[in-house]
Amino acid sequence: MRRTAKLMLVCLLVATAACEDLDVTNPNNPSLVTVQANSQDLLSLINNGLLQWFDRSNGTRPGIAMSCMADEFSTGFLDFGGQYLSTEPRDAIDNGIPTGNAPPHHETWPDYYANIAALNTALKLQKDGDLVLRDAAGDDMTTPALAYAKFVQGLNHGYIALMFDKGYVHSESLDLEALADATLEELLDLIRPYGEVLDTALAELNASLQIANSASFTYPASVPTTWFLGYSRTSQELARIVHTYIARLMVYVARSPAERAAVDWNAVIAHIDQGITEDFEVMGVTGFVDSYFKQRAARQRTTRPSDFMRVDYRVVGPADQGPDFIEWYALPWADRNPFQMTDVQDRRIDGMDPAPATCAGVPDNASCGLYMGYHPENIFKVGRGTGQRSYYFYHRWGRGTSWESGPLKAVNIAEMDLIKAEGLIRLNRADEAIPLINKYRVTNGQLPPVDINGAPGTAPNCTPRRMDGTCGNLWDALCYEKRIETLGLEGGPAYYDARAWGFLAEYTAVEFPIPRLELELLYPGDQGAIYSFGGPGGESAAPPPNFEVCPAGVTLPGCP
């Protein structure tokens, strides 16, 4: 049993087809036997790394569950763990034997590590053989391949750090022969806390950055399922993308308001200033490159827009000029029912005339905003709770087939501007944050600009409003803008923000455990080693939310 467990762990860390058969006579470095050490074989292990990462990170798992846990979207469907993990009171994550509707960590963990293992294998073989990596045309792609591999290694380790409490830390420098002979206890030592996993990710991203800054090269777009997925990117563009993801990971890894406050915000702002200058996107290819998270967010199979998920009132409610949202939130989750908000001034939510093209084809009883719209029909079963019902649908990135056949946003400039604005506020440089907030609030929302005092107007005629009905301060305005402008982009950011701002519903898990099947390999026969997070009395469970407390050390008018 322990031999089988060890072999399974070795297979996780090493990309090889030989591991499909555990009854091997020589498990030492099976990848060196099965992988052809020539240029194109190794290049193919590397140049589809972003595809593998994007399809997982932007897919239904983990995106839907995380988004619903953050009260960004809501769903009445059991698929992908979204409904189960977003009902209230929140329950612990089910770390039992995975089923079809199991929480997302059961699939996310092995996919990220399979990607890391493939990259590690390619990088080790290239280094050991001092190989020149040539593409089909014979062009030397060694330097761009090494920079790209370190970039994607960093993405995968980084997303493990964002999601899980701990994870394996390993790179191409791992001695595979020693690994095959290692004891199970030595393998267990490769599992480190999420902070150390993040350090590994940042080291890999910085290695990519160093290569990109020391050479000039271009990634081709000729094969849309390799490299940067339909886009030609230069080494200078790679460097900007890497800076952006370093900033993202540094901010989003925080599990609590205290950890978010401890982020090195000066460093984050420096990376953002060297980061992307336009939205980072990939090109959808039907059957290969897609974002099923975006598909489920805007799905309309018949006449009902957003028939799988609806925009949660926690996102749009602060725009309500009447009493309904405040009264709705004060009710127990099971007693909440959908409603139409009063006199919405934010044109991203409702009231666009003419309606944007992405809203074409909605029913006559629907109205449209720039990103969302209002549709007065209940679409989720009462038996699964009414608290997840909403009259607000989503259409920003398009419906139909746009999720697999057009440009797919991975990071938008608004996200990075508003992360920077958060950093400036935390550094008590709020005057510099105001233009970044108004950039989206005024242009996209058609709302009056905020100033140092927050949202202008006299309650209830202001956006956003606080739970006591007063007009929001500048911190409230930032949080509102961030949730509106990143809505539907990727399932993770709303969850990462919510846990670090103190927005998560009480008892929501703030991180995910190592999946059960992996734990059974690590600790064969020890059912006590199976653990989970969240739920009443559980570890890593969110405290009661506090939406209206400014960060510690921040001085702003109207900050309690």
What's the pTM value of the predicted model, to 2 decimals? 0.95
User: Which H or E run contains 27?
Assistant: none
Report the phi/psi class of residue 535: left, alpha or beta, with left for phi > 0 and alpha for psi in -120 to 50: left
Decide: 533 and 540 in contact? Cβ < 8 Å.
Answer: yes
> What pLDDT, on a 0 to 100 scale, did the predictor assign at position 379?
81
Beta bridge partners of 310: 74
DSSP state of 318: G
**Residue segments in the chain with a per-residue pLDDT below the cut of 50:** 1, 16-37
In this prediction, residue 328 carries a pLDDT of: 98
Q: Quick check: 83 and 68 in contact, CB under 8 A?
A: yes
CA distances from 348 to 70, 165, 356, 483, 495 (A): 20, 36, 10, 12, 21
Q: What is the pLDDT of residue 126?
A: 93
Q: What is the pLDDT of residue 524?
A: 87
Q: What dihedral angle (degrees, nearest 10) is formed by the CA atoms of 105, 108, 111, 117?
A: -70
How many other CB atoms sit within 10 Å of the CB of residue 138?
Answer: 8
pLDDT single digits (tens) 529-541? 999 999 999 999 9
What pLDDT score does 12 carry?
62
Side chain identity at 26, as an amino acid letter? N
Q: Are 556 and 455 in contact (CB under 8 A)?
A: no
Cβ 154 vs Cβ 198: under 8 Å: no
Tell me the C-alpha to C-alpha distance, in Å, between residue 323 and each of 317, 326, 333.
10, 6, 17
Show the 3-state SS of 125-189. HHHHHCCCCECCCCCECHHHHHHHHHHHHHHHHHHHHHHECEEECCCCCCCHHHHHHCCHHHHHC
